[in-house]
Amino acid sequence: MIRQSSPPRAANRARLSRRTPAKPHPAAQPRSLETPPNSKRSCWAALAILALFAAGFWQFALLDIVATPAGERVNNGRDATFFAVHINPYYTFSEDFHLYVVRAKRILDRGWTDSPLASRPNEKASYAAPLQAALGMVAAQTDGKPVPYTAFMFAVLGTAWCALFLAARRWLPTSVSTRSILVAVLITVLFESLGGLTNRELEYAQWPVHRGLRLSTMAWTSPLVLAVSLAATSLLFDRRKYRSTAIALGLMLLVLAASDNWAFVTAFGTTGIVASILAAMALFVGCRRERLENGWKSVALLAVALGIVAAIHLVLGGAMTEDALVRGGMGKAWLSIPEPPDAPAFWGPVRRYCWTLVAMLGVVCIRLRIAGSRDDRQASASVALQPPDRQRLRILASGAVPVAAVLVLVPTLFLFVGMEQYHAFQFIWRAEYCIAFAVVLLASEFVKLALRHYAATPRIARRWEIAATLLVVVPLLGYHNYRIYRFVTRTAASEFFLTEDEEHLRDWLRSQPADHVRSLATASHELNYLCAYWTNADLLLPEGFPYHNAGSDEEIENRMTDLLRLYRATPDAWRTFNLHGHSDDQWSWHESRLRSAREGYSYYLMHRAHSIRGHTDPFDWARAPCENEKGTTALVAELRRREDRSRKTAAQLRHGTPIAAVEMVDRIARKLVERPGTPPRPDVIVVDEVSRALGNPDFRGYRRAFAHGMLEAWIRDDVVATETQSALLSGCHCWLVQQ
């Protein structure tokens, strides 16, 4: 019997392979690197990095050291202060002083009145923006000194940035890397928009030096708006914790309602859009009963929160009169503008953002398939389209929903409520903020997934991810501090100062008893705001900003007429004094403080009310070559003067803003003639170059109590006599008691 030989092993393997198909190599899947302990450490490290970035503003505490010599400063001052007064060149810093800090200081002294700069008949209590006023009260305690004010702003910025990070960590999926959130938060709070990434202007781009130091929206309410968007959009994807999320949304909306109107309306609209989508989902998409019930419960809670917050916001601003609203750029009078917001200025950016969202949606639908084996170091990749990834779609929604809210809010306010065209950008800026966060977060998540796919082990992937994060954070930290340093040493050190005359006037006013300075008159808006901060006196010069004066336009014109009588100004002198060179701001500060005041006088009296007559045509004045160095206040002033010159040509003939200012000046001039009256007799009269350009007061019954340089202060004789008599009577009383 012959024994049959066995087939070779290779043949056996071939037969087996025909019977059982070969198992393909498993596709490489991203490995989760965030264990609970590591997640906590990552969060604490991210918070520490955010605090480190906020600490860069401590460079402002060095202003007294790096300040240029007094002879080389723009305003020739001595003591540094953040509460400088010209709107330009100080722009947002002084605007905070005008709009927020002064009001907060007057509230501390005079209570919550609707006209805190001066008493008026039948005045009401005005609780508009109480939280913003509270922050201003804290800022007022620093008295503008660099070190305490820097500490205050460091606390505001550090708290806002860390709160945004925690909100993103709370309402984004747990699979989103903590390091990705950190990078997205840093780039968003520093650049504030996608356009800010390419803007190379050092001091005047969207940067915390420019807006972050403000007590207003860009300092801390924009991060809060983004937090509202993250919380609201999370309900579209996960409603397991809808109660806590709805409560948090209500509290954040309440904070915004008590601080800033534009941020509140943006967040309110964003939450309303989400509630509408949830209602539609509950009606048409919900299949399971549990999902349907949670959907309606979420909608009900959001509706209740929105209703309560809207009612509170309405009550807080109840003292705003119609004229005050118009001066703020809102109200029925603005409905008379027949055209929608300027097409290239508003709809152009909105279209760009919509295309950005479309591109992001395409990225969300891209699936990167990676196959191979990590063990054999073999991998292959392919790109395909898929239904939108749920996690990426959730990130995209945080930027898309605010844009949808802006597209609803701006036409609604413009057509049915009445709104100045410029205010549309208040919503654009906040939509930019949310879009920038979503774009950066998506980009960072794609980098993270690529690193985790191709890394051999989770440990190596973690190291690569940390290295990539540091590669972004470390240069950004250096650039961030470099920009602040340049601003502090070049601009702030030479321009954030009071004049020597103003410093002496401040010290003299603060040394006077309260009974000596119960009422005060000055023709300079600059000194008016300073005296509002230094004293508790009624101010004769009216200011048109709505939070500072809830009176009518007629009251403002009458008070201005009384002030002109005090300075014995003639109608011709008053007409000649107003230049109407720029109806929005002061831009001639570097030429003459007097010229700067004369150009912006109408704006301070009526704020934005004159703009109701129209706006100038778009003018490409920013692209023309400039003589001044980039990133300086002189450059900004030069650009604005070019815009001013364009207004004096055909644009001025077509639009009525300067014409409205001229008409107001003429009405006041006629009142000087047609309604003669007795000039007021305030306790203190301040005389400076602005008032001398109008006329010379009748100082009979006054004595000069202060003089330094160009400034004088005259005090009424009977006030001094009354004070002397009170002191004598008090001394006699003490003597009698001792006897």
Residues 141-150 have pLDDT tens digits of 888 788 888 8
pLDDT tens for 90-146 read 444 556 777 788 899 999 989 999 899 998 888 888 898 899 899 989 988 888 788
Question: Quick check: 330 and 417 in contact, CB under 8 A?
Answer: yes
Lowest mean pLDDT among 175-179, 263-267, 526-530, 719-723: 719-723
Q: How many helices (H) and strands (E) does the chain have?
A: 28, 7
Beta bridge partners of 539: 520
Report the pLDDT averaged over residues 348-358.
78
Average pLDDT value for residue range 439-457: 85
* Selected residue with higher pLDDT from 56 and 211: 56
Of 449-463, 482-496, 611-625, the poorest mean pLDDT is in: 611-625
pLDDT digits (tens, 9 = 90+) for 613-669: 765 444 444 455 666 565 565 666 666 666 666 555 544 444 567 778 888 999 999
- Position 299 scores a pLDDT of 87
Query: What residue spans of 208-347 are helical by DSSP H?
Result: 222-234, 242-257, 261-280, 289-316, 322-327
Contact yes or no for 424/343 (Cβ under 8 A): no
Is pLDDT larger for residue 530 or for residue 371?
530
Selected residue with higher pLDDT from 503 and 308: 308
| HSE, side-chain direction, 13 A CA sphere, residue 537 | 29
- Report the share of the chain in percent with pLDDT over 90: 34
pLDDT at 225 over 70: yes
| pLDDT, position 239 | 80
Closest by CA to 110, choosing from 681, 503, 548, is: 548
Enter the DSSP assignment of 703.
E
Model confidence at 476: pLDDT above 90: yes
Q: How many CB atoms sit inside 10 A of residue 19's CB?
A: 6
| Torsion, Cα of 368, 372, 374, 377 (10° steps) | -110
Q: Give the whole-number percent of the chain exceeding pLDDT 70.
A: 73
Comparing 341 with 389, the larger pLDDT belongs to 389
In this prediction, residues 478-485 reach a mean pLDDT of 88
Site of tokens 């918070």: 47
pLDDT in the model for residue 45: 93
Averaged over 59-76, what is the pLDDT? 76
Query: Per-residue pLDDT tens for 670-716?
Result: 999 987 788 999 999 999 999 999 999 999 999 999 999 889 999 99
**pLDDT band, residue 62 (cuts 50/70/90):** confident
Compute the mean pLDDT over every residue in the chain, rounded to the nearest whole number.
Answer: 79
